[in-house]
Amino acid sequence: MPCFAQVVRFARSLEHDGARADDLVQETYLQALRGWHSFREDADPRRWLYAICHHTFLRSARREARYVDAPDDDPELESLATAVSHGGALRTGAVDALERLDMIPAINRALAALPAHYRSVAVLVDVEGQSYEEAAGILGVAIGTVRSRLFRARRLLQDSLFEFARDAGLTHASSASPTPRVPR
């Protein structure tokens, strides 16, 4: 089975329930077998399997009403909000406090907390190293949608990290001074 480990990782990033993630992996390969005739020889098998995996996940999540389509975000506003949020975290000590956190588990928790439409983009581009164009092809969305979801995902992820630092009581204003409101 080609790209098995990568498909397992991608499925687990979409589905956090272990049994559901395993079902998703199995269904991905079954769908791939059924659709093998549509695979172009010059195509990247990993991206083809990711696309099948994502479509299978969406079909199941929509059927069970577990997936809500993302609104269109303003990417530049998300960039601005990222900086505003970081400025607030600098003032409360949350940024310094992150140095005392084990970042990889914290990042994985923050990723897991993202809504699926943001998580899938962040996983593909930032974790798996796919380009915007490749991610757009896998997810079946426009490149602009990848960009806007990615920027929002990163901002939400950054805010989660600051939240972890506050929850761990590591900030000097953990109870008195919440992160300032940021646009959206």
Partner 1 sequence: MTAPPDSPSPTERTMNCEQAVRRLWDYLDGRLPSFTREEVEAHLDLCLRCPPHFTFAQSVKEWLRHAGTQRENEVTDRDGTLRERVRSALRSVSP
* Element of type H or E holding 11: helix 4-14
Residues 124 and 138 sit within 8 Å (Cβ to Cβ): yes
Our finding on whether 156 is near partner 1 (CB under 8 A) is no
CA dihedral angle for residue 163, residue 14, residue 125, residue 84, rounded to 10 degrees: -20
Our finding on whether 26 is near partner 1 (CB under 8 A) is yes
Kindly write out the interface string for residues 33-72 of this chain, putting x where it contacts partner 1 by CB under 8 A and - elsewhere.
xx--------------------------------------
Min CB(70)–partner 1 separation in Å: 17
DSSP 141: S
Binder among 43, 90, 112, 142 for partner 1 (CB under 8 A):
90
Binding residues for partner 1, rule CB under 8 A, total 43
Our finding on whether 104 is near partner 1 (CB under 8 A) is yes
Residues, the chain = 184
Binder among 68, 103, 142, 173 for partner 1 (CB under 8 A):
103
3 state SS of 148: helix
In angstroms, what CA-CA distances link 36 with 22, 50, 57, 62, 105?
21, 14, 19, 25, 37
Our finding on whether 163 is near partner 1 (CB under 8 A) is no
Distance between CA atoms of residues 88 and 159, nearest Å: 10
Site for partner 1, rule CB under 8 A:
1, 4-5, 8-9, 18, 22, 25-26, 29-30, 33-34, 75-80, 82-83, 86-87, 90, 95, 103-104, 107-108, 111, 122, 126-129, 132, 147, 150-151, 154, 157-158, 161
